[in-house]
Structure 1
Amino acid sequence: MKPEATEQPDVKPLADDNTVILDTPIRRGTTTIDSITLRKPNAGELRGISLADLVNMDVASIIKVLPRISSPTLTAVELSDMDPADLFMLGNKVSGFLLQKRLKTDASLVA
């Protein structure tokens, strides 16, 4: 007897936790940017920015740090023109980078 062929479901890769899908894509010339991936900044990339302001998601601080850690690299002008909901989501990721791994785990247990 031949074994029956079974269809395998399409498996999608897990989304990167540091990628934000934009509600309102950014137009850059003929290119449309519909998602932004952030990487955790090192201490030097936070120079000139108050950590308390980042945790409180101060818009000026977020606009200052995002060009340093975003891919594709965003400009301050693009960030200033961004949909506030998208900026909020990016700021939320940035403030999360400031938590220690242990605190992130503890916070997920409470939620």
Structure 2
Amino acid sequence: MTQTTSAPVTTADVRTVNLDNPIQRGETAIDTLQLRKPGAGELRGLTIADLARLDVAAILTLLPRITTPPISPAEAAALSIEDLFACSTEVGDFLLQKRDRAAFPRA
């Protein structure tokens, strides 16, 4: 039996987005999402070009696959425009190579 180990997750692989308008799930309010850098399998059915253009349909398909806590497609679709944009820019940043990312200082 072979044992597989996953690569360690670095801060470059996970981004935190503080939501201006929390997701309400029952009595729980989710005010922070962590976005994990997607792997090839999580990009299934999507094009990198659509993600690079921050295409809303592509982002809404991807978010439920890479968020912690996991959100449903309906919850992703219900995000406010400013929260969707914040998530989208983090997804776009994942597409950049390290040397290109260095040209864009983070706040």
TM-score normalised to structure 2 length: 0.81
The residue aligned with 1:24 is 21
Q: 1:60 is matched with which residue: 57, 62, 74?
A: 57
Report the identity percentage: 49
Q: Which amino acid aligns with 1:44?
A: G
- Structure 1 runs (4+) greater than 6 angstroms displaced: none
For 1:18, what is the secondary structure of its paired residue? strand
Q: CA RMSD in A?
A: 1.2
Structure 1 distance, partners of 2:39, 2:100, is: 18
Offset, 1:103: 1.1
The residue aligned with 2:47 is 50
2:104 aligned with 1:108: yes
Which has more radius of gyration? 1
Structure 2 distance, partners of 1:89, 1:57, is: 11
The residue aligned with 1:79 is 76
Offset, 1:18: 0.7
Q: Deviations over 1:48-101 (max 9, x none)?
A: 101111011111000101111100111110111111100000011011101111
Structure 2 gap ranges (5+): 1-13
Structure 1 gap ranges (5+): 1-16
Offset, 1:108: 2.5
Would you say how many aligned residue pairs link Structure 1 and Structure 2? 92
The residue aligned with 2:91 is 94
Q: Deviations over 1:4-60 (max 9, x none)?
A: xxxxxxxxxxxxx71010000010011100010011111111111011110111110
For 2:104, what is the secondary structure of its paired residue? helix
